[in-house]
Amino acid sequence: MKITTWNVNSLTARLQHVLDWLTANPVDVLALQELKLTDDKFPHDALREIGYEAVAFGQKTYNGVALLSRSPVANVARNIEGFADESARVIAGTVETPNGPLRVVNGYFVNGQEPGSEKFQYKLNWLNGLQSWLRNELAAHPRLVLLGDFNIAPEDRDSYDPVGLAETIHHTTVERDHFKALLGLGLHDAFRMFDQPPKSFSWWDYRMLGYQKNRGLRIDHILVSTPLVPQVKACSVDRVPRKWTKPSDHAPVTVELG
């Protein structure tokens, strides 16, 4: 089965891209971030027509996450239990697979804007909350995938300019330590389980011809729990939709589980 994460930067603006991409890539589960719409505006009908049911957790203008699935999603949770949050950033659900139930946790991690800012502190608090909650989620659901827009470039090789951007947003030691702490819970970066082309990124700035010059970051991730590791068959970024007209600034990342 295939599971994908994609920050679409407005589902209203990107609905046709999502429909086109899913039609060409009929993955089992698609985790979306940055819907930027409220649940009453969620395009259930258009998705149903191509075979997907969705559970959504939306918000006006900002944030918003959803799980699209070809099979039912059960036991849906919204945001981080035990962490009060004004923003719609997490939706989790369980799908049945031939190997048993699979917990899928989809997150739109806080951006943080600038180290030292209030928003950066919110990012750190949010990451602490996520970590505590995930410990329990993993205990309850040993087969778990955490995926989404992490807004963290975990290592220097995940940035187009690790020296020039050292200790700037997405690159700070404290953010990277949080990423390592997630791995410490018993999660594994599916992308790094395979040989990948150098300068593999998942996001490119709209400005400065970012995509054309491959000035990007790898900030969209798929982490799998230890029991799933033997089942991971592939993980890759699909740059194709980043080349479409009016693209999202993020590309979809897909993991294949055997």
Residue nearer to DNA on the CB measure, 28 or 158: 158
Interaction mask 106-145, DNA, x per CB under 7 A: -----x-xx----x--------------------------
Q: Give the orientation angle of helix 173-184 with respect to helix 118-140, to 10 degrees.
A: 10
The reply to whether 244 sits near DNA by the rule CB under 7 A is: no
Active site residues: 108, 149
User: Assign residue 94 a region: left if phi > 0, alpha if psi is -120 to 50, beta otherwise?
Assistant: beta
CA distance 14 to 69: 18
**Which residues, 6 or more positions from 75, have their beta carbon under 8 angstroms from its beta carbon?**
93, 94
Binding to DNA in span 157-176, by CB under 7 A: 169-170
Residue closer to DNA by CB (options 189, 249) is 249
Residue 208 engages DNA in binding (rule: CB under 7 A): yes
| Residue 246 neighbours by CB distance under 10 Å | 9
152 with 130: CB under 8 angstroms?
no
Instruction: Kindly state the smallest distance separating residue 230's Cβ from DNA, in Å.
Output: 32
Q: Residue 159 gets which letter from DSSP?
A: B
Can you tell me the distance from the alpha carbon of 143 to that of 119, in angstroms, rounded to the nearest whole number? 32
Q: Which is nearer to DNA, 60 or 135 (CB)?
A: 60
Name which of 4 and 94 has its Cβ closer to DNA. Answer: 4
Q: How many residues bind DNA (CB under 7 A)?
A: 28
Residues at the site binding DNA, with contacts judged by CB under 7 A: 7, 9-10, 12-13, 34, 36, 60-62, 111, 113-114, 119, 149, 151, 169-170, 203, 205-208, 217, 219, 246, 249-250
